[in-house]
């Protein structure tokens, strides 16, 4: 017979697998919609469709410049920068991701000092949302002061490994107003602020500087790895579109 611990572990693994499959399907759909939106932008209606709104939410959540290539970079005005930040703070996908992450922590009983049930879930949700909000706010403030642009622009490169190198490095690089790239003080500062300032409300098992360093490392590793997804999403969209072209009207 399976033990309660074994059943619990199996439930966690099943939940993670289901989420991973859902994310994969969402990303494939996003790639297709992103390309279609880019191609049809000139004829886009004034009021965005539900699909276009979803794509806009994803572009904002992933901090992408759509399918725009690096060679077409244009610096953000402060008004544009502020608008992107405000959209990020109310983006529904951020709350969905926060809710799922809080659920995983609930299953794992992390941290152990926070009880189960609605109260424990609420604490875990608030913890993740607080860390995310600090990260984005500090990044916004620093990027505004330093004129750094952390959006992801497609490399425009052709060679596979060149694109991989560009995508991974983009997780810690930002663009200046002249388009040159350098270490992103705002990105690193935002992630560090979220990781370490959140220790102030964490219980004893998660409040050390070492725990903050682990959180910082996990977030940065995720940013570096996820750049690869961002780089190849438009390609995936084009491949799907070419395989299943629209019927002529």
Query: Would you list the domain boundaries of the chain?
Result: 4-243
CA dihedral of 190, 187, 141, 60, whole degrees rounded to 10: -100
Average pLDDT over all residues of the chain: 82
Looking at residue 116, the DSSP 8-state letter turns out to be: S
Q: Which residues lie below 8 Å from residue 54, measured CB to CB, with a gap of 6+?
A: 33
Among the residues of the chain, which ranges form H helices? Answer: 4-39, 50-61, 78-89, 92-108, 117-146, 160-169, 185-197, 209-243
Residue pLDDT, tens place only, 7-36: 555 555 555 554 444 444 455 445 545 544
Residue 142 pLDDT exceeds 60: yes
* Cα–Cα distance for residue pair 69/29, rounded to 1 Å: 20
The yes-or-no verdict on residue 54 having pLDDT over 60 is: yes
Interatomic CA distance for residues 147 and 177, integer angstroms: 7
Measured distance CA(58)–CA(53) in Å, rounded: 9
**Beta carbons of 186 and 150 less than 8 angstroms apart:** yes
List pLDDT tens digits, range 61-110.
888 887 788 899 999 999 999 999 999 999 999 999 999 999 999 999 99
Torsion on CA atoms 127, 151, 23, 223, rounded to nearest 10: -60
The whole-number pLDDT of residue 13 equals 54
Q: How confident is the model at residue 59 (pLDDT cuts 50, 70, 90)?
A: confident
What tens digit of pLDDT does each residue of 165-221 get? 999 999 999 999 999 999 999 999 999 999 999 999 999 999 999 999 999 999 999
Give me the mean pLDDT over the 137-151 stretch. Answer: 97
* Least confident span in 35-39, 120-124, 215-219: 35-39
- What count of Cα atoms within 13 Å lies in the side-chain half-sphere of residue 210? 2
pLDDT of amino acid 89: 95
* Bigger pLDDT: 131 vs 249: 131
- pLDDT for res 195: 96
Asked if 104 and 86 count as a contact pair (C-beta separation under 8 A), the reply is: no
């Amino acid at each position: 017979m399976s033990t309660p611990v074994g059943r619990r572990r199996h439930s966690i693994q099943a939940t993670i697998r289901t989420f991973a499959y859902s994310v994969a399907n969402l990303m494939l759909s996003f790639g297709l919609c992103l390309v279609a939106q880019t191609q049809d932008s000139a004829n886009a209606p004034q009021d965005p469709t539900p699909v276009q709104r979803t794509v806009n939410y994803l572009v904002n959540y992933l901090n992408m410049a759509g399918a725009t290539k690096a060679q077409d970079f244009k610096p953000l005005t402060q008004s544009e920068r502020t608008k992107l930040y405000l959209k990020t703070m109310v983006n529904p996908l951020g709350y969905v991701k926060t809710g799922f992450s809080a659920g995983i922590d609930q299953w794992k009983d992390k941290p152990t000092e926070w009880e189960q049930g609605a109260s424990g879930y609420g604490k875990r949700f608030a913890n993740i949302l607080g860390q995310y909000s600090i990260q984005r706010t500090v990044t916004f403030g620093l990027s505004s002061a330093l004129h750094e642009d952390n959006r992801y622009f497609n490399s425009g490169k052709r060679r596979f490994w060149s694109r991989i190198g560009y995508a991974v490095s983009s997780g810690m690089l930002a663009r200046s107003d002249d388009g040159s790239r350098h270490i992103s003080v705002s990105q690193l500062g935002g992630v560090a602020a979220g990781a370490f300032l959140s220790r102030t409300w964490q219980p004893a098992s998660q409040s050390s500087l070492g725990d903050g360093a682990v959180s910082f490392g996990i977030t940065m590793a995720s940013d570096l790895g996820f750049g690869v997804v961002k780089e190849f999403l438009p390609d995936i969209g084009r491949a799907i579109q070419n395989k299943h072209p629209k019927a002529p009207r």
